[in-house]
């Protein structure tokens, strides 16, 4: 872990900051409010100058605050600055070499403030560290879906800010407001997540349609109608979830949400709401929970059973074409990506980590660790799904009665286990009466299928 210096000065008994949480939110809004012909640096100066207490605190404790915020607000994965691109590119190779030399020593680099009589040199080093810390924020926005999760991970990764954040309660609310606005304006992380997910879903839908046509052309009407039924059941359950989520709203809002479902725009809408921190007091679930339920439903009612059905017919078909095999592999990859996304998003959620710290938090806060974890989650879920699907398809080829008997017995035992633990309806907030038990039965059944066929 890099230990860097931001030239933050802490007195022995630092006074509590007079600024409040509300001040931090207002400052975050001011820092992201654009004015005509105003640069980012001018915007930061204007926002800081408007709060006299803040200017005094930063002058005494954190003089490189504006340097750090300049690169936070630029929000560039590759930040070449303003008018200094060539100079920075020319130093790129030397920086990589120095980092490789440092990381070769047990991956630990301790960069302490230079002890020099040249005050100007000390200030340059401190400004460089502040620049580095500010630049890291863009990558955390790229790898998270919630603004608060990006800020939380950035602060944990920036140990040099720990004392400053503790003594200044306004700082984190300010960063939350900034993260929320940056995600609205530049949804790079949202775009690649939604784009990759939508691309896989579209490819899966195209191959499924091709498989249905192939089955019908070869006289396998049972297989064709079974796949069509799975797609239809997924759509029906998605509509039911949408109604339950929006039942307190007007009929026009419900119709609009239904339109998102039938036009296959619902995943993109859910991802946008999560990324922009959308809040709705009339909704039963949070946007993150709704997105998780939607993806889980798609996996449990369409992707997983559809892949199993295709594997079964592929094993028993005399005509084993490459197209049918590709369709199975695409379904497997789609399942792996969607299930990994659910696990990843639920784990990095700040609310989940605070409520259940013993369960959530296995994904590390560093960007490199997060990327590696997410890729491994996709591969783990995809290969687990493929092995389980092939095994079940082979058993189904031997004996249909035995296969359905094993699956039904596993499901019944799982539900009885949850009843014995007395937490059958514990995970179903916001519902009462019969609806609550129906939702509990549906939720536990979906979770059982997902865990069995993805391992996550």
Those residues whose C-beta lies under 8 Å from the C-beta of residue 333, and which sit 6 or more positions away, are 200, 378, 382
Strand, coil or helix: 74:
helix
Quick: pLDDT tens for 51-108.
878 877 888 888 888 889 888 888 876 544 444 444 444 454 455 445 444 444 444 3
Those residues whose C-beta lies under 8 Å from the C-beta of residue 336, and which sit 6 or more positions away, are 377, 378, 379, 380, 381, 382, 383, 385, 454
The pLDDT of residue 17 is above 60: no
pLDDT of residue 248: 85
For 330, phi then psi, to 5°, come to -65, -40
Stretch 340-344: mean pLDDT, rounded? 85
Quick: pLDDT tens for 362-406.
888 777 788 888 889 999 999 999 999 999 999 999 998 999 999
Of 100-109, 124-133, 276-285, 421-430, minimum mean pLDDT range:
100-109
For residues 47 and 27, is the Cβ–Cβ distance under 8 A? yes
pLDDT of residue 402: 93
Quick: pLDDT tens for 243-285.
888 888 888 989 999 998 888 778 778 877 776 667 788 887 8
Whole-number Å distance between alpha carbons of 200 and 413:
34
The closest alpha carbon to 110, from 69, 153, 159, belongs to 159
Query: Considering the chain, what percentage of its residues have pLDDT values greater than 70?
Result: 80
The pLDDT of residue 18 is above 80: no
Quick: pLDDT tens for 134-167.
888 888 887 776 788 888 888 888 888 888 888 8
Mean pLDDT of the chain: 79
Query: Considering the chain, what percentage of its residues have pLDDT values greater than 90?
Result: 14
Identify the helix (H) or strand (E) that includes residue 44. helix 40-49
* DSSP annotation string for 341-406: HHHHHHHH-HHHHHH-TTTS--S-SSHHHHHHHHHHHHHHHHHHHHHHHHHHHHHHHH-HHHHHHH
pLDDT of residue 7: 56
The pLDDT of residue 225 is above 60: yes
Stretch 445-454: mean pLDDT, rounded? 89
Domain regions of the chain by residue span: 21-185, 188-454
């Amino acid at each position: 872990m890099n230990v860097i210096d931001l030239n933050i000065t802490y007195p022995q008994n630092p006074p509590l900051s007079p600024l409040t949480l509300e001040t931090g939110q207002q400052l975050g809004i001011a820092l992201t409010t654009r004015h005509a012909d105003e640069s980012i640096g001018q915007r930061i100066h204007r926002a800081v100058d408007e709060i006299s207490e803040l200017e005094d605190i930063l002058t005494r404790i954190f003089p490189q605050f504006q340097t750090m915020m300049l690169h936070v607000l630029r929000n560039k994965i590759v930040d070449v600055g303003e008018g200094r691109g060539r100079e920075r590119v020319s130093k790129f190779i030397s920086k990589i070499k120095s980092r490789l030399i440092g990381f070769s020593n047990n991956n630990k680099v301790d960069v302490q403030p230079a002890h020099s009589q040249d005050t100007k040199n000390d200030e340059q080093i401190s400004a460089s560290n502040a620049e580095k810390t500010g630049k890291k924020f863009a990558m955390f926005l790229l790898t998270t879906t919630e603004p608060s999760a990006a800020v939380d991970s950035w602060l944990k990764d920036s140990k040099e800010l720990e004392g400053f954040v503790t003594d200044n309660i306004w700082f984190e609310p300010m960063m939350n407001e900034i993260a929320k606005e940056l995600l609205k304006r530049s949804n790079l992380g949202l775009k690649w997540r939604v784009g990759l997910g939508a691309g896989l879903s579209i490819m899966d839908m195209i191959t499924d349609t091709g498989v249905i046509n192939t089955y019908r052309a070869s006289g396998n009407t049972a297989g064709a109608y079974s796949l069509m039924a799975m797609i239809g059941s997924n759509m029906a359950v998605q509509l039911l979830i949408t109604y339950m989520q929006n039942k307190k709203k007007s009929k026009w809002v419900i119709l609009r949400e239904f339109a998102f479902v039938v036009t296959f725009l619902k995943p993109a809408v859910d991802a946008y709401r999560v990324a922009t921190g959308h809040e709705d007091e009339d909704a039963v679930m949070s946007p993150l929970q709704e997105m998780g339920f939607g993806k889980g439903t798609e996996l449990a009612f369409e992707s997983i059973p559809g892949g199993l059905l295709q594997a079964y017919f592929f094993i028993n078909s005399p005509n084993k074409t490459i197209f049918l095999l590709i369709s199975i592999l695409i379904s497997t990859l789609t399942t792996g990506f969607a299930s990994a996304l659910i696990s990843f998003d639920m784990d990095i959620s700040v609310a989940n980590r605070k409520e259940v710290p013993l369960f959530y938090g296995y994904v590390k806060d560093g960007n490199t660790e997060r990327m590696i974890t997410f890729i491994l989650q996709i591969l783990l879920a995809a290969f687990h799904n493929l092995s389980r699907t092939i095994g079940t398809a082979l058993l189904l080829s031997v004996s249909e009665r035995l296969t359905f008997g094993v699956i039904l017995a596993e499901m019944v035992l799982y539900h009885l286990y949850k009843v014995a633990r007395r937490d059958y309806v514990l995970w179903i907030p916001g519902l009462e009466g019969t609806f609550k038990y129906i939702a509990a039965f549906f939720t536990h059944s979906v979770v059982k299928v997902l865990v069995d066929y993805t391992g996550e």
